[in-house]
Structure 1
């Protein structure tokens, strides 16, 4: 029996449950995709053609910001679970200032979008789809601001790949089949029908896989942006001002007028003032230090600080001694994430409207107190804590918090649902894409653009699909007094690019798609590399696990306390141990992300790119 057990351990050390363990040696474990090695640049994103767009810009002499902008534009044009009316948020490392910059290009709630309005429509939450789910477009402004402030190329150069795609490209299966499967809802909106269902009346009304997909309206919109830039350049304006002239045409000119007209025609709330008054914000990111590594995330209008809180909590445990994906390791990380996500659900929101207690939430002292709540078994009754005393303040919503804690404590085990169904999973892990770039000059960009996925309402004759991000608001202050809709307010989103620095230099740029699972997968990728010595490709392919104990940010904002997804090659004995700790285990073929990442090899002056084998994500390096 002992001999069989030892053989089992040996086999585990050779598969996903032993990747990167001490003694194996980094880079020796076979991976399904090769590591991307480059000395000049790296471009990784959600689709091969998107990575090609970035490579094209790099080969023409652009920097990592230029390439990232081209990749966002290309993936938006390809409807890679996002479109041009969605949102963009980024972290950029500027080698000239040695600082990390945060880009907030998330749209906001339009005029009339209030708690009272949505409740008057008989809604418990803002809708998942349709014109009333739309925030103002953010991605065009994000691209143009990033390019103007930190890029080197013209807008025309950066938009050329996406304009070529709009003229027609061979559509891939994921997007074409999404159009077909969602055609009943798409037919509710005439401008969407015109684009997504070119074979209306036939058995298959969406494009066939590999068919040339043409978007004339979007091409005209992008052409107008280039026209505005060219006109400004002809008038003698510098590159930066010329790009902002295109920005103004989108948000204040004829494009804006058509977006508003087309949206209101279909029942939306947009006004011209909503678009004209919206602005991209260049912000200071949040960060913590984990064992000598500075980890940067966007502010609390995203879920990004969850990863920072989780790391602070986990710093109180010896994770390495537990062993990669052992029962104790999985349990500890799962519980740490639940504690951080409980705080996210209650406290995170647009800081321009309600100031969240981020100083307390990210303090090491608060994390230490939260870590004491981790017991031997899963606790389905975890709620938000009170970080205000850890920043010398008093919680203005203490009464709501106490009532929530009392209500949760009174629940019995049969009142918790820990089963996973397809509808819940599809909402909880709604995909998007990610963009990671780096260049030899030192520029590093990590982006998680999203919004306007299929089925999307297209805004009139612009070809611009609108975001569905209003659904991330809640309408009940018991769920979150910080994330209630108001005109001009940004919803708290799941999108969460990441950068890590060590000794003042970039160490890791990483991002992932997948709704509320994003910071769960990113946390595990980071720990795979930092605690278990995996190389970046091993870490992107490694077996992750997911919790569903937090509130979903989509649909009806449900949760599934104790539900856990693990990879299907998880040993039976390990699943049994997890079940004994109170988890309801679901097996999946792949659980790695899909994560994209760049690791910086300062010893050799090169880049290591990693792209998980989960989906269509793809990278190119040189």
Structure 2
């Protein structure tokens, strides 16, 4: 039967109201537990694809249009930084559930000229006019900062981070980097599946009175038509964001902080009764920071210092190194149990010691030492769960997008950018087409806490790029998106590659775990021993053994993060992307 005859034979009802793909709630067959992915002829049975290979450059992002923009920049002679900035701008349009010019940015770069890993901290500070007393007065029922609205907004650092990176490593004219994003924002692009799902979720949250958002009319005017947010495949346009990008492209990165955009931001917060001012914006500048590394079984894994949580990955790996995970077996109960316990111990230190270093002197050398890791590892038992998990005693002296790009000269960029929770604070400045981050939610309000709120202070940050080297050579730029999943996911990726010799794509497609519990840097207590979320691909025997050990298990789809990576081999690159999201990896 040819295609025309086949379509004619199908009942018309089968096509009714199916112009666009349905959401997960509307699809009656998406949760068949007895249906799994197809079979590949080679590679791991769970892998959805193989890595993309190329000689001259590579890019992996969470949106196909962003990956294409990065490759376009590389092919026209741009550096990996040029390509990363262009990709990030496109992501701000195509993946606004995760990032945008209203958020922060961190990056690690392999600089082939100096042959070292360098880092930037592009996170912003709290408004100077918003006091601790005011935050406490407006706190929620748990005594924490509200997740949405003006109290959760800190200065967006992304644009100045792009500008700083381009100033040191850019080859193409600054204005050229924004042309793909401007074109897409003006012409429109089909909404991808994850974006459609999470914009719908944001619509429901932002419009609830209990979210305490000062105004939602700007969000609704852009994203909600006839009471509905866009569905997968519908074309979405954002001409206001295109205008904002044009101002940045023509005026330079500081145009966001000192020009027309800053004037509109200040006027907006004055209108809604918020605290951000043009002076807060003008005071912001990106910082170059020194990454640190730990050696994990011969591979140096790098992280950025606080206020980032980058060192949590390193602490986890130091503890995991004390156990023979390979001997325990891939996806075995004991390998997962010991890794989860390492996470719990590292996260207790995260809650106690991680904060803005301008306000608190973190005991970094102690936290990253092998001796401390050995001490902590002794607390882990193979036959029971550690109860309770607690931070070490320091010596007395003291919803995100990830993407990566590599170029023909050997530069590799590992970059992560976020609005934090969901799409952000719910607040969109008049006429500018982007949403402010709600990163300020991550402050604590407890006296004596290193991460306690203060005006002009940077909150604890969950976003962390990843990088690995071996024998002084770049090995891999990688990241896993998703709040506290990021260090958990990074440690699993490193273990999959180093301990179990998985390929770059296989390491990301492997089933993941996510532990949720313990103390938070905000002062919130999520319960002990918390919940252990396991993806459906984890072997049933492993799930049963972990449950028998006492772990409270849950599946909780959507909490396992999003992975992108590029691995360097002599004379070539391999690029991998996340099967759980809508991205693409390309190389040429």
TM-score under structure 2 length normalisation: 0.86
Instruction: Please say if 1:113 is aligned against 2:130.
Output: yes
What is the rounded CA distance, in whole Å, between the counterparts of 1:374 and 1:114 in structure 2? 42
Higher helix share: 1
Residue matched to 2:218: 191
CA contact (8 A) 2:319 2:373 kept: yes
Residue 322 of structure 1 and its aligned partner are, at CA, apart by 0.9
**Residue equivalent to 1:270:** 276
Matched with 1:175 is 195
Q: Does 1:607 align with 2:573?
A: yes
Q: Kindly tell me the number of residue pairs found equivalent between the two proteins.
A: 537
Quote the Cα distance in structure 2 between the aligned partners of 1:108 and 1:137.
8
1:467 is aligned to 2:412: no
Assess if the C-alpha contact under 8 Å between 2:577 and 2:584 holds in 1: yes
1:571 and 1:522 map into 2 onto residues whose CA distance is: 21
Deviation (angstroms), 1:35: 1.2
8 Å contact kept, 2:512–2:538: no
CA distance in 2, matches of 1:557, 1:451: 23
Alignment correspondent of 1:426: none
- Stretches of structure 2 that go unaligned for 5 or more consecutive residues are 1-35, 208-214
* Mapped pair 1:616 → 2:585: no
Q: Which residue of 2 aligns with 1:238?
A: none
Instruction: Identify the residue that residue 132 of structure 1 maps to in structure 2.
Output: 151
CA contact (8 A) 1:331 1:578 kept: yes
Contact 2:462/2:484, CA 8 A, preserved across alignment: yes
Aligned to 1:527: 495
How does 1:396-407 map onto structure 2 within 5 Å?
A: none
For residues 447-492 of structure 1, the C-alpha deviation after alignment (integer angstroms, 9 at most, x for no partner) is 11001743631122222310110111111147xx111111221111
CA 1:462–1:547 in 2, change beyond 3 Å: closer, same or farther?
A: same
| Structure 1: segments with no counterpart, 5+ residues | 1-14, 20-25, 229-245, 396-430
Contact 1:609 1:621 in 2 (8 A): yes
1: distance between equivalents of 2:362 and 2:86?
A: 34
Match of 2:84 in 1: 68
* CA apart distance, 1:555: 11
1:516·1:552 contact (CA, 8 Å) conserved in 2?
Answer: no
Contact 1:515 1:553 survives alignment (8 Å): no
Instruction: Give the corresponding residue for 1:383.
Output: 390
Closer, same or farther: CA 336–145 of 1 in aligned 2, 3 Å:
same
Please report how far the alpha carbon of residue 567 of structure 1 lies from its aligned counterpart in structure 2 after TM superposition: 2.4
Q: CA separation of 1:122/1:203 partners in 2, compared to 1, >3 Å: closer, same or farther?
A: closer
Secondary structure in 2 matching 1:325: coil
Q: Secondary structure at the match of 1:56?
A: helix
2:363 corresponds to:
357
Contact kept? 1:567, 1:590, Cα under 8 Å: no
Is contact 1:380–1:562 with CA below 8 Å preserved after alignment?
A: no
Provide the secondary structure at the position in 2 that maps to 1:317.
Answer: coil
Q: Distance in 2 between matches of 1:554 and 1:190?
A: 30
Residue 155, structure 1, aligned to residue 174, structure 2: yes
> Which residue number in structure 2 is paired with residue 83 of structure 1?
100
Answering whether residue 99 of structure 2 is matched by residue 99 of structure 1, we say no
Match of 1:502 in 2: 470
Contact 1:567 1:591 (C-alpha < 8 Å) held by counterparts: no
Q: Separation in 2 of the partners of 1:370 and 1:340?
A: 9
Instruction: Give the Cα separation in 2 of the matches to 1:584 and 1:121.
Output: 34
Aligned to 1:213: 236
Match of 2:245 among 209, 222, 225: 222
Equivalent residue in structure 2 for 1:435, among 390, 398, 403: 403
| Residue in structure 2 matched with residue 447 of structure 1 by the alignment | 415
Corresponding residue for residue 261 of structure 1: 267
Between stretches 357-366 and 379-388, larger displacement belongs to: 379-388
1:62-91 CA-partner distances (Å, limit 9, x unpaired): 111111111111101221422211011111
Alpha-carbon distance change, 203 to 554 in structure 1, aligned in 2, over 3 angstroms: farther
2:564 corresponds in structure 1 to 596
The one-character-per-residue Cα deviations of 1:538-566 (angstroms, maximum 9, x if unpaired) are 10101121111234568966346241112
Are 2:312 and 1:306 aligned? yes
SS in 2 for 1:614: coil
1:319-334 equivalences under 5 Å are 319-334=325-340
Please give the alpha-carbon distance, in whole angstroms, between the structure 1 residues aligned to 2:320 and 2:171.
41
Question: Equivalent residue for 1:53?
Answer: 69
Deviation at 1:113, TM superposition (A): 3.0
How much has 1:217 moved relative to structure 2? Answer: 2.1
Q: CA deviation at 1:298?
A: 0.9
Quick one: distance in 2 between partners of 1:215 and 1:65? 25
CA contact (8 A) 1:77 1:84 kept: no
Contact 1:263 1:460 in 2 (8 A): no
Q: Distance in 2 between matches of 1:203 and 1:332?
A: 48
**Secondary structure of 2:274's aligned partner:** coil
1:180 is displaced (CA, Å) by: 3.8
1:342 aligns with 2:308: no
Which residue is 1:587 aligned to? 555
* Partner of residue 211, structure 2: none
Q: Could you tell me how far 1:320 is from its partner in structure 2?
A: 1.4
8 Å contact kept, 1:91–1:498: yes
Tell me what 2:33 maps to.
Answer: none
Distance 1:468 1:570, change over 3 A: same
Contact in 2 for aligned 1:552/1:559 (Cα 8 Å): no
